[in-house]
């Protein structure tokens, strides 16, 4: 569910409805929720939570985008 965490955080989607939809998927189904600002309830029900932050990137130093990395 691409960028669904943002939609929940901005109250565009109801958090409880999203949680119920994930629960209905069943134990043998892998569900991936993406987007920043995941609520505590979404993170609590997750098996894995990842926060990605760019600390340093060559493009900031003038490197051109590289095939296979940036596109």
- pLDDT band (50, 70, 90) for residue 11: very high
Residue pLDDT, tens place only, 12-52: 999 999 999 999 998 899 999 999 999 999 999 999 999 98
Radius of gyration of the chain (CA): 16
Give the Cα separation of 3 and 36 in Å (integer).
7
pLDDT attached to residue 50? 93
**Is pLDDT of 69 > 90?**
no
Give the contacts of 70 (CB within 8 A, at least 6 positions apart): 59
Whether the model pTM is above 0.75: no
Q: Where in the chain are the domains? A: 4-61
Helices (H), the chain: 4-9, 15-24, 40-45
């Amino acid at each position: 569910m691409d960028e669904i965490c943002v939609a929940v955080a901005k109250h565009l989607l109801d958090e409880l409805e999203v949680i119920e939809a994930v629960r209905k998927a069943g134990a043998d189904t892998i569900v991936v929720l993406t987007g920043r600002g995941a609520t505590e309830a979404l993170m609590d029900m997750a098996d894995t939570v990842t926060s990605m932050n760019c600390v340093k990137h060559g493009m900031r130093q003038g490197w051109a985008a590289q095939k296979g990395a940036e596109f």
